[in-house]
Amino acid sequence: MKRTWTIIGVRNVPSSFKWYQSLFGQPETPPGHDYFGQILDADGTVLLCLHQWGAHDHPTLMSPENGPPGNGLLLFFRVDDYEMALKRARALVDRFEEEPHVNPNTQTMEFSLRDPDGYYVTISALSADRERPKS
């Protein structure tokens, strides 16, 4: 088994940590450090790592001024509680980048929003047999 640890540069690790925990419906806990935190699934699987810009000498995490956040990156999460994730997301942002719709490739419901640092985040239902919302 191989797993990836996606690491994104953020301005404020504790704030972004709280934002992602809210999006995923997780209990609020503090990150491991002010400069780094791992968002974990209930089974301990790393979902996303948050790294403060410039906290270490990682060449691509030095400064957000070197390029727009998320250029060439799409954070795509499959969730088993799509309807609840949709409600949580609506409470986090004023508008979505893409309103809920059926992805023609996966045949699953999905929506997209921006996180506090401008990253493009897509939330997709885990399976196509989920009931599609009427609104």
In sequence order, the 6+-apart residues with CB closer than 8 A to the CB of 13 are 31, 33, 34, 35, 36, 37, 50, 51, 52
pLDDT in tens, the chain (135 residues): 678 889 999 999 999 999 999 999 999 999 999 999 999 999 999 999 999 998 887 777 888 887 777 777 889 999 999 999 999 999 999 999 999 999 988 899 999 999 999 999 999 999 876 555 554
Domain boundaries, the chain: 7-125
Domain 7-125 maps to which CATH number in 1.10.530.10, 3.40.190.10, 3.40.50.11600, 3.10.180.10? Answer: 3.10.180.10
- CB atoms under 10 Å from CB of 48, counted, come to 21
